[in-house]
Amino acid sequence: MSGQQKFQIVSAGKTLRAKAPAEVLQQMATAFSITPEQARKLFLKGWVIKDHLSPGQVVQYRTQLQQIGLKIEVHPAGKFDNRAILARLQFAQKRKARKGSDKAAVSADIPVHAEVVNGSGVSGRQAAAKSVSPKNGRVANPGTLPESPGKTINTGAVKVPAAKTQQAEPQKAELREARPKQETVEEKAISAARTQLEALFDSEKSVRFGSGAQPLGLVPGLVSAALVPAVFVGLFCLTLFYLGTALWAIPASIIAGSFGVAVLVGLVFKLLVLSLLGVLFLYPFFTTTKPAFAGNSEAPSGIHLRKPEAPGLFLLLEVLEAKSGLGIAGKLAGPKNLAAAKQAKGTLVEVTPGAEILVAKSTDGKLKLQLGLAAVATLNGGDLTALIARAFSYHQGRLVRAAMYCSLVTAQKLQVMQDALENEVTLFSAKGAPAPLLKPLHKVLSACGLAIVPVVERLQNVHRATSAGLARRLEARADAAAAQMIGSDAFAEFAERWNQLVHADLVCGEINREAHLTGRRLANIPQAVRWLFRTLDEPTRASIEMAMAEDTDCWSAVEPAGHERVGVVEDLRLPALLERTDFSLQKLFTDFDDLCAKSSRQGIDESYRPVENQLLLTASKETEEAQQTLSEYFNRAIPRDFLPLQQPNNEELAELGLQESIDWLRSRLIDLQEQEQRLAQLQLRGTRIQLGAALVRANVRVDPRSYDLSGTTPSAAEASRKDNRARVQECMQQREQLHRMFFQRIHCAMASMSAADGSAASGALEQLKGFEALREPLAGLDSHGDLICELIERLPSADVPPALVQKYAQLAVQQIRQVHQAATKQPDLLPPALMEKLEACGAGEADISAGSRTSDLAGELQGLELRCKNASAVVHEGYQIALARLLRLCLTEETQRKIKPLRLVGAL
């Protein structure tokens, strides 16, 4: 047995989903007889738990650790060791100790420094302005620094203390006298706002980031990082050369008199080879449009931010560029009839609901700032300014942009190529399923693409080896840009908040994806990330702190800093350019909450119902288990409303057994999903038709195409309504026939259950029958909620009569109360907690003011829409919990009978 292979068990750094981290930590400490501090190390990704184990011991340890709840990986013995991780932990401890000693030294030096300044004849106001905390830039003695009266930002920003000296007052007076006397009110407001924003920065510092010979240090790394891009450029040139010679072969053979079949066959063969090389290798590399620094490929598209929506933010970007030299402002295209407007400069800004802050290229090739609203809602102004400066640092100067392209962008392109080839995505299937005529060609290209995946992997490894040094230099340069805003001393705490924000964003994204399976979504993603960030428990924060000891991906510009990068920045000892960091960027937006709600539904299927954040973020354990059961039973085809409790009308289908019913459903899953999508589209179309018909009856001029109407007369609107209603009924009948087969599956499973399980299943089925009384009121509630949502979208452009708005608002509230009354008639239908939520949704009247402004009216209607959606979500939550009890018994019965589960063919 001496030649038997040995293995090691390595921690994956994660716990099983059903296990709480605190519970897993306690069980590990008990199982290994170690302290909780020692057990925390087992949460570190890459930590070797046991080494040199036989296959039998591996199975034993893996079973035990999985029962505890820790995810592990198995590798050959000696592949990993703990020395590197222990070195990082020791480095982190030393850094914290050094940081504590630096704090003590700074606090001891501040009084002496103040005495020296006061003794040198400087005023007390200046001394107070300079005596700031190195942590967050707050004033050490606020009582000696009065705020400048009457200078508040027009957008509602916080007041900023003026840091000007008394000697500068005469100069201010001279400047005011030199200005034109007829200065507009808007210019005065902008001037006051700029003064406040400039007061956030140190008035005596004005640095130019990256100036001088510093970027020249990127040249050696740039030469080596350009190897792989040069390979693709060389292949492109060779392809063009051989394409030209191949095409020249025909006229050359005609001139030489040797033209024949052999020449044509050779030409076709060369063109096929060159086409395969271009389509599979060159075209994806040079034409990929994915953002270079996108960390989340599933992130929705952003919303272009106009200057009136956030005037304070655009002003802050101008001040930031003036103070630090960091910016991407360029010429903005203006109206064609105004030549002067074309020369206007500004920064393109796009907002997304996530937490990433990066710079990407727009469709016209210009740079734009992608600002994550979740970061704006969560972090303070100093942290956000540091992240914005860090994103700008990758685009300062042509040399830096070239280095960024050769290292980061090329790595991203290679990763996109590899993912596309592995997922069999070709030129003909990039926008969906290929056309029937192109399917054979798609299959050929996908097969060839899988064959060259190892080549792309080797190119990726070569590029990472040649560009690692340059990527690290760019990463360190970006970290220095962030530290220049807040100071090196505050970078450690900034990095901790940054990592916690990324964690909260990932958790929120996972919750939102799970909600999509049941036709729901988070109503406000930025506020959800903020809530998760603020409610992180101590074990999670400790796990994030330990994860910071790992190496970061230097090829990603949005990767948060770890302990090693924090130590490098602290060694730079950069002073803070910001005098204050405790200000909020939310107040620089005109309507931040409305913008968050718009971005949360950007790029999301319209059929997903918006649900209040707390209903999804604070879901009970019973609700989570119900969601898992429904996902397992229906396999990505979870019904969005109540399941019909009748068997199919077709006698042949009603006579099928359990396995035959599941096999029949498996062949119809794709059709069922298409029916669900088509029904959701028809119902939304019906909502537009209903609103358009109401406007036509109210003698309001409408565009019939915007409301899916066949004309602008009442008779044409009624005809459109009848036609769409017939389509909806037809689609619902087809979907109901498919859903009845699921009840056939339930019926077959209940027929073979034991007496105890059969009795429990019958009780659960009786509870589901009680929900039938809520089917019609709930359908009406969903319709009214969609109508209110459509009304909100039409308010800015359509002239909606106030009486019509008041009518639909009152009908929506009445529908909520009707649902509540129907649920009250059956006391045991919904749990008490859900009944309280449902009652709260129906409380209060819908008093819509006739003279309200459009923005105020939209806000009142949004609150009413949320009440409708929340009431519907509460009822569906109670129904799904009751349905999951029945389905859990059915799944147990199917497992005991060894029934083949319901899975799509591609998932087997």
Residue type, 214: Q
pLDDT digits 0-9 by tens, 342-388? 456 788 999 999 999 999 888 777 899 999 999 999 999 999 999 99
Residues 235 and 248: their CA atoms lie apart, in Å, by 20
Mean pLDDT of 77-91: 75
Q: Is the pLDDT of residue 112 over 70?
A: no
Task: Indicate whether 427 belongs to any domain.
Answer: no
206-210, 272-276, 391-395, 623-627: least confidently modelled range: 206-210
How many C-beta neighbours within 10 Å does residue 337 have? Answer: 6
- Indicate the helix (H) or strand (E) that contains 248: helix 227-256
28-37, 165-174, 707-716: least confidently modelled range: 165-174
Average pLDDT, the chain: 79
pLDDT band at residue 79, thresholds of 50, 70 and 90? confident
Give the Å distances, CA to CA, from 430 to 276, 413, 426.
16, 15, 6
Contact 608, 520 (CB under 8 A): yes
Residues 908 and 666: their CA atoms lie apart, in Å, by 11
Task: Indicate whether 900 belongs to any domain.
Answer: yes
3-state percent breakdown (helix, strand, coil) of the chain, nearest 5: 65, 5, 30
Task: Indicate whether 503 belongs to any domain.
Answer: no
Q: What is the CA 558 to chain-centroid distance, rounded?
A: 13
Contacts of 540 (CB under 8 A, 6+ apart): 21, 503
pLDDT (0 to 100) of residue 849: 61
Q: How many domains does the chain have?
A: 2
pLDDT digits 0-9 by tens, 200-248? 888 776 666 655 446 677 888 889 999 999 999 999 999 999 888 888 8
pLDDT (0 to 100) of residue 31: 74
DSSP state of 713: S
Mean pLDDT of 582-605: 88
Task: Indicate whether 890 belongs to any domain.
Answer: yes
Of the two residues 39 and 396, the one the predictor is more confident about is 396
Of all residues in the chain, the percent with pLDDT exceeding 90 is 24
Of the two residues 183 and 116, the one the predictor is more confident about is 183
Contact 623, 533 (CB under 8 A): no
How many C-beta neighbours within 10 Å does residue 55 have? Answer: 12
Residue type, 16: L
Last residue of a domain, one of 41, 61, 81: 81
Residues 702 and 228: their CA atoms lie apart, in Å, by 57
Residues 412 and 417: their CA atoms lie apart, in Å, by 9
Contact 12, 72 (CB under 8 A): yes
Contacts of 698 (CB under 8 A, 6+ apart): 801, 803, 804
Q: Is the pLDDT of residue 22 over 80?
A: no
Last residue of a domain, one of 25, 52, 81: 81
Tokens 């210019």, residue?
187
pLDDT (0 to 100) of residue 689: 92
Half-sphere exposure of 612 (CA within 13 A, CB side): 21
Residues 144 and 660: their CA atoms lie apart, in Å, by 83
Mean pLDDT of 7-24: 72
Using DSSP's 3-state secondary structure scheme, residue 149 falls into coil
pLDDT band at residue 298, thresholds of 50, 70 and 90? very low
Mean pLDDT of 800-820: 87
Task: Indicate whether 426 belongs to any domain.
Answer: no
pLDDT band at residue 848, thresholds of 50, 70 and 90? low
DSSP state of 428: T
For Cα atoms 33, 38, 43, give the angle at the middle one, nearest 5 degrees: 110
Task: Indicate whether 731 belongs to any domain.
Answer: yes
Secondary structure (DSSP) of 470-526: HHHHHHHHHHHHHHHHH-GGGHHHHHHHHHHHHHHHHHHHHHHHHHHTTTEEES-HH
pLDDT (0 to 100) of residue 438: 80
Q: Is the pLDDT of residue 828 over 60?
A: yes
pLDDT (0 to 100) of residue 494: 94
Q: What is the CA 4 to chain-centroid distance, rounded?
A: 47
Q: Is the pLDDT of residue 413 over 70?
A: yes
Contacts of 793 (CB under 8 A, 6+ apart): none
Predicted model pTM: 0.62
Give the Å distances, CA to CA, from 481 to 326, 494, 557.
9, 13, 13
Half-sphere exposure of 734 (CA within 13 A, CB side): 16
| Short-list 430, 452, 152, 204, CA closest to 312 | 152
Of all residues in the chain, the percent with pLDDT exceeding 70 is 81
For the domain that residue 31 is a member of, what is the CATH number?
A: 3.30.1390
DSSP state of 394: G
DSSP state of 70: E
Last residue of a domain, one of 35, 56, 81: 81
Task: Indicate whether 710 belongs to any domain.
Answer: yes
| Short-list 696, 724, 700, CA closest to 712 | 696
Mean pLDDT of 436-447: 83
Contacts of 368 (CB under 8 A, 6+ apart): 328, 347, 348, 349, 350, 359, 360, 361, 362
Residues 126 and 130: their CA atoms lie apart, in Å, by 6
pLDDT (0 to 100) of residue 589: 93
Structure tokens given for 647 = 């068997």
Of the two residues 430 and 754, the one the predictor is more confident about is 754
Mean pLDDT of 802-809: 86
pLDDT band at residue 17, thresholds of 50, 70 and 90? low
pLDDT band at residue 135, thresholds of 50, 70 and 90? very low
Mean pLDDT of 88-104: 65
pLDDT band at residue 138, thresholds of 50, 70 and 90? very low
pLDDT digits 0-9 by tens, 628-657? 888 888 887 788 889 998 888 888 888 888
Mean pLDDT of 722-746: 91
Structure tokens given for 16 = 């099983």
Task: Indicate whether 64 belongs to any domain.
Answer: yes
4, exposed or middle or buried, with CB in 10 Å at 0-12, 13-18, 19+? exposed
pLDDT (0 to 100) of residue 15: 72
For Cα atoms 478, 479, 482, give the angle at the middle one, nearest 5 degrees: 90
Mean pLDDT of 327-336: 68
In terms of residue numbers, what domain contains 651? 619-907
Residues 782 and 52: their CA atoms lie apart, in Å, by 61
